Amino acid sequence: DGGITQSPKYLFRKEGQNVTLSCEQNLNHDAMYWYRQDPGQGLRLIYYSQIVNDFQKGDIAEGYSVSREKKESFPLTVTSAQKNPTAFYLCASSIGTRYSGELFFGEGSRLTVL
């Protein structure tokens, strides 16, 4: 079955640590995205990538980094510079950025900072 796999589902981090969230898709989609969801707030875009080896900052990129070395993979690193990293992180993909509203989401990764 085609879809998006995120791992881990739950992650605990100590302050000052970097953590990397994995996102893999087998939908053959060109575009991939990382969103953050906090209670009472809409989904906010962190980074997106239209093609391999290219990515763009979204609305809240500070304290995060990404890479897109393969079409299938778009990992997100939450660095120690991110001041409030506790959140639900969602990876998504679309056929292309022209269809950026028609998103397929992974199951999400819930990060808690201890």
Partner 1 sequence: QKEVEQNSGPLSVPEGAIASLNCTYSDRGSQSFFWYRQYSGKSPELIMFIYSNGDKEDGRFTAQLNKASQYVSLLIRDSQPSDSATYLCAVSRRTGGGNKLTFGTGTQLKVEL
Q: Which residues bind partner 1 (CB under 8 A)?
A: 40-45, 50, 56, 90, 97-98, 100-108
Q: Which is nearer to partner 1, 41 or 53 (CB)?
A: 41
The alpha carbon torsion through 4, 39, 82, 101 (nearest 10 deg) reads: 40
Q: Which is nearer to partner 1, 43 or 52 (CB)?
A: 43
CB of 102 to partner 1, least distance (A): 6
CB of 43 to partner 1, least distance (A): 4
Which run of H or E residues covers position 56? Answer: strand 54-57
Q: Which is nearer to partner 1, 52 or 80 (CB)?
A: 52
Query: At residue 25, what is the residue type?
Result: Q
CB of 83 to partner 1, least distance (A): 22
Q: What is the Cβ-side half-sphere exposure of residue 75, based on CA atoms within 13 angstroms?
A: 13
Closest to 78 in 3D by CA, of 70, 87, 30: 87
